[in-house]
Structure 1
């Protein structure tokens, strides 16, 4: 199964909708609770990164019996230093975004923590591609 969602930059009214739909679909197909939780965190953080930082992008979930793959592809400023961006608390979100309670610098670290495999490709002034793989397994396996 594949689900794809268009995400618009700065559309905070719809932020999280794609992640919520992915959660419902994963529950309906019987994914393990631990897998659903991790996949939804990845999807939500990736979706918010598009809303906060990019002009627009897509969030795609590929669902297989043994895994979930979440991909975010955006048209945004890109990430000049991925290693730095992976540090907890590092954020390039502007002050007005932080005042709304977003941009705490936990998005990529949370995606990394919840992923079994993670690949990030980014080009400055072009955009970013994030691909996360979460294997379908119960907690503790």
Structure 2
């Protein structure tokens, strides 16, 4: 866990971590479904829940398809919700290109299951108030998404 994530986690009212396994398509979407359920339980607005569900689902699927596995952390703060998606590599060679709608490096096997259309990162960015991505080839990818509440 990065220092920045540790510090944010320490100040969260509630925090949840979800392990996401490489190429585990059978369980893809389980984390985002649980996050959506928890958001309903604490009484968040339906529009916020929809945005959070899209962001976490897209992050989860990207980890399943493109990485060596990773963790999604959801932190509920007083004025915001932070979602961190941190994988274990192999990193994104060209982040600007990866942010282009429709661009994908997904394997044929993922595409045949209906995944890998190249909308994950653009959808994540579109649904949040703040979006940060840090990645380089051969390194983990770290994404931080913030929604103000």
Q: Could you tell which deviates more after superposition, 64-73 or 84-93? A: 64-73
Structure 2, unaligned runs of 5 or more: 1-13
2:46 corresponds to which of 9, 12, 33: 33
Within 2, Cα distance between the matches of 1:106 and 1:11?
20
Task: Kindly report the root-mean-square deviation, in angstroms, between the aligned alpha carbons of the 2 structures.
Answer: 0.9
1:77 deviates by 1.7
Q: How many residues align?
A: 136
Which is bigger in relative contact order (C-alpha 8 A, separation at least 6)? 1
Superposed displacement of residue 45, structure 1 = 0.3
Regions of 4+ moved over 4 Å: none
Q: Flag the structure with higher strand content.
A: 1
1:98 counterpart = 2:111: yes
Q: TM-score, normalised by structure 2?
A: 0.88
Where in structure 2 are the equivalents of 1:128-139 lying within 5 Å? 128-136=141-149
**Structure 2 counterpart of 1:117, from 130, 134, 139:** 130
Cα deviation code 1:109-138 (max 9, x no counterpart): 0001001000000121122000000112xx
Distance, in Å, in 1 between the alignment partners of 2:39 and 2:80 is: 10
Matched, 1:67 2:80: yes
Correspondent of 1:12 among 25, 28, 37: 25
TM-score in terms of structure 1 length: 0.93
Q: CA deviation at 1:57?
A: 0.2
Tell whether the 8 Å contact from 2:94 to 2:136 is kept in structure 1 after alignment: no
Structure 1 counterpart of 2:94? 81
